[in-house]
Amino acid sequence: NPEHHILIDDARKIKKGVVLGDEIIFPLEQKDNYGRISAQTAKQVIIQKIREAEKVSVMSEFGQKEGEIVTGNVQRIERGSIFVDMGRAMGIITYEEQIPGEHYKQGERIRAYLYAVEETPKGILLKLSRSHPKFLAKLFEIEAPEIAQGTVEVKSVAREAGSRSKIAVFSKDS
């Protein structure tokens, strides 16, 4: 790479016999105008990089949990939506994804189905549901070892969240 040659030549002016991948420590020139503004800019760049790294980390953590049942604490209820504290991210159960007749209090633990992980300007938003047909299938998986082991397969779920549900199962094992 021609760029590397230029950098290597510059590096050899500081330390003779230097090769690609070596570390060079050299003093920065003292300047009096590195003031507050420079420090502020550096701080903002560092904070921005930390936020980006955090976002990537949270995305991968919850990306793996997509399609699973997750647990969190009710933080607040706003305009019919339940905001759930999931630790490193915020979950939301919109009115449509709630079970009619269910009411939650602040601080209460809640289980829901994580159906989407979204990046928003405010951070990662986890879309949760308690009325999703797969929520029921996953609950059965937790409760019935035969489903968890794969002996019994959930073929279909018909659900009227809050009133009744039907689950169709199949097994190759007689």
Count CB atoms within 10 A of the CB of residue 99. 16
Specify whether the CB–CB gap between 119 and 96 falls below 8 A. Answer: no
What pLDDT is stored for residue 69 in this prediction? Answer: 93
2 has a pLDDT exceeding 60: no
pLDDT, tens digit, for every residue of 121-168? Answer: 878 899 999 999 889 888 888 888 888 888 898 898 888 877 888 889
Closest by alpha carbon to 84, among 129, 54, 51?
129
Measured CA to CA, the distance from residue 34 to residue 141 in angstroms comes to 61
32 has a pLDDT exceeding 70: no
Give, as one character, the DSSP assignment of residue 35.
Answer: -
User: Which residues on adjacent β-strands are paired with residue 29?
Assistant: none
Among the listed ranges 12-21, 58-67, 68-77, which one has the minimum average pLDDT value? 12-21
79: tokens are: 């305009």
pLDDT, tens digit, for every residue of 76-87? Answer: 999 999 999 998
Q: How many CA atoms lie within 13 A of 155 on its CB side?
A: 5
70 has a pLDDT exceeding 90: yes
Return the sign of the alpha-carbon dihedral for residues 102, 108, 114, 116.
positive
